[in-house]
Amino acid sequence: MQTNPTHSSLVALGDSFTEGMSDLRPDGTYRGWADLLAARMAATAPGFRYANLAVRGKLIRQIVDEQVEVAAAMRADVVTLVGGLNDTLRPTCDMVRVRDLLTEAVERLAPHCGQLVLMRSPGRQGPVLERFRPRMEALFACIDELAEKHGALVVDLYRAPALGDPRLWDVDRLHLTADGHRRVTEAVWQALGYAPQDPEWHLPPEATLPPRWVARRAADARFARQHLLPWIGRRLTGRSSGDGLRPKRPDLLPYETP
């Protein structure tokens, strides 16, 4: 049942998923599901305000330290928090610490916003997902518990067939394509009570012929050279893709289409 909601502000917290990688605009900046959601919400509410504090590569400790207090002070109608998945991909991940930090984030945000939105993040089908699935599902169990305790919404992207389809993931195999981000927008939009614009967002694209063996091996080689090896290099040297970057929308200001 639709609730015909009216929201006047949105604040998004997190990492590269919420920053919008790899949904590129023509000018080289990232758009992503949160920007798309803000545009939709702004169309229903004159004077709508939006901030996006997410920065690629952030771990849950950094999200808590750098984003949570800022977001709480904004007292927005809707706050989205997606974090912890980068931690689960680290070889030495401490899931007890991740759980404690996520709990701290939710406890600090929930009293200071109209509606807190959490997510079960999507995962690209393949060997990487299978390797880290136990950690991811432990994270999602924590999210479910916190949502029930604090009245947060949970948007379940993890079980959406479309968002496990490799065709909706960029060549780096870590970030969604523009169509993937659009589908996430639709999922959050509907969870907030707005009338569906795409009731079948969760269904995968129509079947296509798989690429030939040679094309798959060439894609694997490009992925390793352009994305996997640099990612491993950053892990070994303690660097992050977000080092030195500021949020793209650090202030809660009236939304204007870029």
CB 134 within 8 A of CB 88: no
Give the end-to-end CA distance of the chain in Å, rounded to a whole number: 33
Residue 221: CA count within 13 A, CB half-sphere: 6
Tokens of 227: 């994305």
pLDDT at 35: 98
pLDDT at 1: 41
CB 122 within 8 A of CB 157: yes
pLDDT at 22: 86
pLDDT at 131: 86
For 15-56, give the DSSP string. Answer: SHHHHTTT-B-TTS-B--HHHHHHHHHHHHSTT-EEEE---T
CA distances from 11 to 53, 120, 167 (A): 7, 18, 29
The low-confidence residues of the chain, meaning pLDDT below 50, are 1-2
CB 176 within 8 A of CB 184: yes
CA distances from 145 to 10, 52, 114, 156, 242 (A): 23, 25, 19, 14, 30
pLDDT at 130: 85
Model pTM score: 0.87
**What does the alpha-carbon distance between residue 114 and residue 123 come to, in Å, rounded to a whole number?**
29
**What does the alpha-carbon distance between residue 249 and residue 71 come to, in Å, rounded to a whole number?**
12
